[in-house]
Structure 1
Amino acid sequence: MSSRQALRRAGAVVLAVNVALVLAKAGAWYLSGSLAVGSEAINSLSDSAYSLVILAGLYLTTQPPDLEHPHGHERIEPFVSLFVAGAMILAGAGILYGATTAVIAGGADPPVGTSAIAVLVLAVVAKLWLYRYCRRVAERERSPAVAATAVDNRNDVLAAGAALFGVAGAQVGYPVLDPVAAGVVALFIAYSGVDIVRDNLNYLLGAAPPDHLREEIVERALSHPDVEGVHDVIAHYVGPEIDVSLHIEVEGDRTLAEAHDIESAVVQSIRDIDDVDDVFVHVDPKELGEWKAKIDDVETDPSN
């Protein structure tokens, strides 16, 4: 299965499961009157809404490169993830307001019947499966949008567990636990949104990758037997992928064809690193003396 098919299928699976959970939780909410289950229904409704956005976004990001977008459309993904985060934060705030109002009022009538507990157990199982599924797809395809969805599903497992505890407590004589559980669910939802924002801002702002990856870039360049030094190394995120530019030092008496072969080998070696997209290598004669002897001293400012 191609990356395009895997990502689109993941979006469709997430949407289908969330729609099914909305219907199940709404029915249990109607039957039981549980605020916690109601908050979970709203949570799943927001999940379904952003699942539609993710599905549309993944369709766009998996379009092949064209004349107007020669590098493809992967850079749309962080924007999709931020939309997901915004929806989650708003949903969490709304649920928290309703739960706080109910707690101040002294709680609500305890849920009735077993439908609330049954649907929350179902939600825990379904969200745990979705979390594992989305995490596998995100790691394999290096997709920040699917990774954001995995985070949301992970926190949905905890939220559904909290709601289950609140409903059970309310049914054994502690009705205030139901709105308290709804508030806990709201905090989980909002926290997930903030977590996703933090992760994806680096993609949009062109932040540098982790230090270990930059060190690996330098080490791969220096591993070529004809490379005498490396300087002016710049690595930064462009969407979810990393662009790299650097200068390598070679003997000044190399022919143009030899320098070209060295440059091509270094480009391919660095491009083989996961998450790296484009690599730009400039070849300098080592006699210029621009190389710094230690990796920690490699220049990162192109103006130097």
Structure 2
Amino acid sequence: MTTINIPNAYPVELSPPDLSTYAKGSDGVPYIWTFDSGAPGPHAMVSAIVHGNELSGAIAVDWLLNQDVRPSAGKLSFAFMNIAAYAAFDPGDPNATRWVDEDFNRVWDVAVLDGERDSVELRRAREVRPVLDTVDFLFDIHTMQHLAPPLMMSGRHAKSKALAARIGVPERVVGDHGHAAGRRMRDYQEFDDPASPKTALLIECGQHWEAASEDLAKLSAVRFLEVVGMVPQGSIAVGGLPEARQRFFTVVEAVTIESDSFSFAREFTGGEIITEAGTLLGHDGDRPVVTPADNIMLVMPSMRLWKGQTAVRLAREDD
């Protein structure tokens, strides 16, 4: 177990909804509710609280369930994932409950899931895995440590960037390979297979506790449901965002911490575009970390600067 001891620099503008009413689940898996239209079609899932302190996803999924959203074709699942971490959320120390024992979003390698390692998060992952195995389209709602422009994380294959383009928000879409520390849920099995039609997206709706993250979580989830054919377009009333041309980026380097001492050269919050190659970003022990090319965007610089973790990802805009 890794203790998360990070001071909070941002106001907590959101309140976590009470999810106890969803505890039994619809089909025996706690906190997962699946609705079958009875008509042919894909199985889509909207998931939330993979990290227990990321409130906007819980708010958005609770909002959709309270509106009795049902699929017009196929199946639709709403899932609250790391419920143990969420239940421990404390607005007085909101960084402490990202997880209980380990990061739920780093355990989705089959060898790990089938292995002997044990944790609160692995037990829950194994519990929800049979449902996830049946999902064709996954939309996983997250938020970020810093106040920065929202991002759609599309993974490394064109199929997911294409789905992100159909959804149309947020402005920035980032293709990436994930993290050296472990596989994310959005990269599980066929979601990460270019030959499979199964597709997953992970949206970062803004800073963890900013009010605007709730609005984007709701809007993006509704647009996802529309484009994968779960609900008719315009059937769920939701506020919009100013229209903006989407920009597509691809991660060219993930800076994984190799030493026991990593520090950034200055305060970065994410979304900065560094115009000159060779610009100093920080030091991994004695090793300088610099931008590998011109016009590099910083993707979610971390406060969790521990050996083996991703300090920051470096992305370039697609041609």
Q: Check whether TM > 0.5.
A: no
More strand by share: 2
Q: Which is greater in Rg? A: 1
TM-score, length-normalised on structure 2? 0.27
More helix by share: 1
TM-score, length-normalised on structure 1? 0.28
